[in-house]
Structure 1
């Protein structure tokens, strides 16, 4: 057994906790039912004084008022392996409280983020939202559309009291804390070992360098395989993040450049030029500029590509690809799963290979709309308190990080081989640093995210694309 959560929290406390623009994290895919692990939190909580909402007794249990329906939106959907854990937890909360949830969850991507912002602008926001706690939330934070944790605690003192407040990220908009975290994330490089073996390439380790990576990619290409599974025209942001990180250190990665030719700007330009270089070397799929992320992911799981740069949430997708029935963990082909591994992104310059992108980037918000509804206030607090309780969070966090004060022990016998490999990889991490892309709002990233195809084919220089994004960023500060 390993106190893995404690290890990760120690690492996380030494770094800045800003999120990534990816999805949420993975939980076991071995059929674990969160309802079996969550306990009866109603019996372990003291009754909270509800002030002017006197009907509610307990932030996690039943209320004496009539049952209500709350609308909840999360990213626990699609291939996110926490989707079933979320459904199980919601069902148990509904059973315990008599309240119901109208769920509008969807897979996290740029479209989802745009939808959330639009919902707030049109007054269609949910009562409870699981969303990013970085710049992506600035619009609705600045508009006063969500309630701070301190304001909620003024009426419900025990709200999020099981969390280490130092690990709850503050909004960059006003410095207040709004989102109660559940599970953290990491970004790293998944490996199809079957492809490596066919190409005569060794499994990369903790000292893997950029030069070694380029040599290995050439060997893989020469053997008739695609070295890197990535859809640069669809989701380039993992490569964007690490290519820039490779020019920096954890101490300066979250700096925003003031111009493309200042020190940080030059690092961003050099990172994008590294992506252009490996594109020109033919290390990405032939259709990388037109393919979808799902298509290149299938290349990886089907044994046609060697490396996949992605986040901890992808563990579930890889495991699912090794099941004859994606919805039935008992159909897992363990031999096929054993072909997959996960390791660190190759290091360059002053960034250690074992320095990863990661942290606690998302959490549950209670909207002002729900807070000001006397029938929904206590129910929203009850729901978030249940979903972030000591009993429920471990089922979501597992081999990554959480903000719980009492970090649970992790029994490796409850995990599949890829999850155990992820644990071993994380035990060697030297730092977790937030994603700098999350300090940009969506429009700031357009010139280098949507514009990645033009950069790598040479239609637009990396310097010009970076400068365009910086100019948009400056406009947002005015």
Structure 2
């Protein structure tokens, strides 16, 4: 098995407990859980290399959408539709939305979801209150806060330039709106995408980002927020568990506001059920492994397992279960998602990996004035066209 539930992952212990439950019931089964952080730039490379070289794991916890298209189209994993339909108890354990959002372009479900996620603009309320600032619910309030905080030597918005996944996701969604974001770049350039990069430059010019944003990664950027050195960060629900108690207790989350000239509502968020467990075709065709692998898949995505994982990582449960023991900021996140005008999968699921890498690489030159927003999007469009030929 290959998953992200290792290292510093908030659900590592809960996931290991679920594996231990299974091996207790099946003493002859040995589970090798190979793990790697999804934030690691080598994560996608390892998965794609393994899947294409005959080294695929029996069960794979991985992204749903564009990231999986290669090995899905190559027939390396099996559709789960028939297995779900044959086991009503398992299928009915999922909320319908979770299964709907787990579908690939061909309408089949290849990945059984576990927990979903939401992303947003996380705000340290204590820092805002101490500086007499309103929550950044619109662009004017955001830029007012950035200017005031930068003047006091507080990092306004902690994000890195290279691993700028979340900055890109949120500015493009707020600039282009859900429809413009969802179209990707294949059918032409939506000029609103350029406004996302113009907004990043405006924030940079106001002193929004860490002085070392060009050299830090997501982990370091998160540390600045966790340690109370930054007033805001753009992250996903999974990050909450890694923050200091003080920061967690003083945080809330709001949708990223509409950028200047953008067509987003100001209440559009990134979220959904973006990952799940895949069952490899090789394992499915192996009579010695098939039934055990399916049993483990069902166990790991049962309502009981989902409840434990969601309680650990604050993710949106894929089953109708009550998640307990979560901090207020996680409850704020659930409320934000419930009230959102739209919930969209991240833009990196709408374009090829190479294109998203190109979008990331353009952040620093654009904010530093070495490249225009138009050039950034045109370069990404060329990469997308080249990858889809």
Match of 1:88 in 2: 17
**Larger mean Cα displacement after TM superposition, 193-202 or 236-245:** 193-202
Given the alignment of the two structures, is residue 115 of structure 1 paired with residue 40 of structure 2, yes or no? no
- Please report how far the alpha carbon of residue 467 of structure 1 lies from its aligned counterpart in structure 2 after TM superposition: 1.8
2:160 paired residue among 223, 226, 231: 231
Q: TM-score, normalised by structure 1?
A: 0.74
Q: TM-score, normalised by structure 2?
A: 0.90
Question: What are the Cα deviations for residues 309-339 of structure 1, in whole angstroms up to 9, with x where unaligned?
Answer: 0000011111xx33xxxxxxxxxxxx56422
- Please report how far the alpha carbon of residue 159 of structure 1 lies from its aligned counterpart in structure 2 after TM superposition: 5.6
1:100 paired residue among 26, 30, 48: 30
- Please report how far the alpha carbon of residue 269 of structure 1 lies from its aligned counterpart in structure 2 after TM superposition: 1.2
- Please report how far the alpha carbon of residue 242 of structure 1 lies from its aligned counterpart in structure 2 after TM superposition: 1.1
Question: What are the Cα deviations for residues 332-360 of structure 1, in whole angstroms up to 9, with x where unaligned?
Answer: xxx56422222222234442333211111
Unaligned runs of 5+ in 2: none
- Please report how far the alpha carbon of residue 92 of structure 1 lies from its aligned counterpart in structure 2 after TM superposition: 0.6
Tell me, yes or no, if the aligned pair for 1:188 and 1:344 is still in contact at 8 Å. yes
Tell me, yes or no, if the aligned pair for 1:145 and 1:369 is still in contact at 8 Å. yes
Given the alignment of the two structures, is residue 200 of structure 1 paired with residue 132 of structure 2, yes or no? yes
Between the aligned partners of 1:156 and 1:126, the Cα distance in structure 2 is 24
Match of 2:226 in 1: 301
Between the aligned partners of 1:111 and 1:442, the Cα distance in structure 2 is 12
Between the aligned partners of 1:231 and 1:115, the Cα distance in structure 2 is 23
Tell me, yes or no, if the aligned pair for 2:269 and 2:337 is still in contact at 8 Å. no
Of structures 1 and 2, the larger Rg is shown by 1
1:340 paired residue among 215, 233, 251: 251
Higher helix share: 2
Given the alignment of the two structures, is residue 211 of structure 1 paired with residue 140 of structure 2, yes or no? yes
Tell me, yes or no, if the aligned pair for 1:160 and 1:388 is still in contact at 8 Å. no
Match of 1:469 in 2: 380
Tell me, yes or no, if the aligned pair for 1:201 and 1:220 is still in contact at 8 Å. no
Tell me, yes or no, if the aligned pair for 1:448 and 1:469 is still in contact at 8 Å. yes
Match of 2:369 in 1: 458
What does 1:240-319 correspond to in 2, within 5 Å?
240-258=168-186, 262=189, 264=190, 266-318=191-243
Unaligned runs of 5+ in 1: 1-71, 323-334
Match of 1:47 in 2: none
Given the alignment of the two structures, is residue 179 of structure 1 paired with residue 90 of structure 2, yes or no? no
Between the aligned partners of 2:140 and 2:135, the Cα distance in structure 1 is 15
Structure 1 residues 122 and 166: CA distance shift in structure 2, 3 A: same
Given the alignment of the two structures, is residue 447 of structure 1 paired with residue 362 of structure 2, yes or no? no
Between the aligned partners of 1:315 and 1:182, the Cα distance in structure 2 is 18
- Please report how far the alpha carbon of residue 248 of structure 1 lies from its aligned counterpart in structure 2 after TM superposition: 2.6
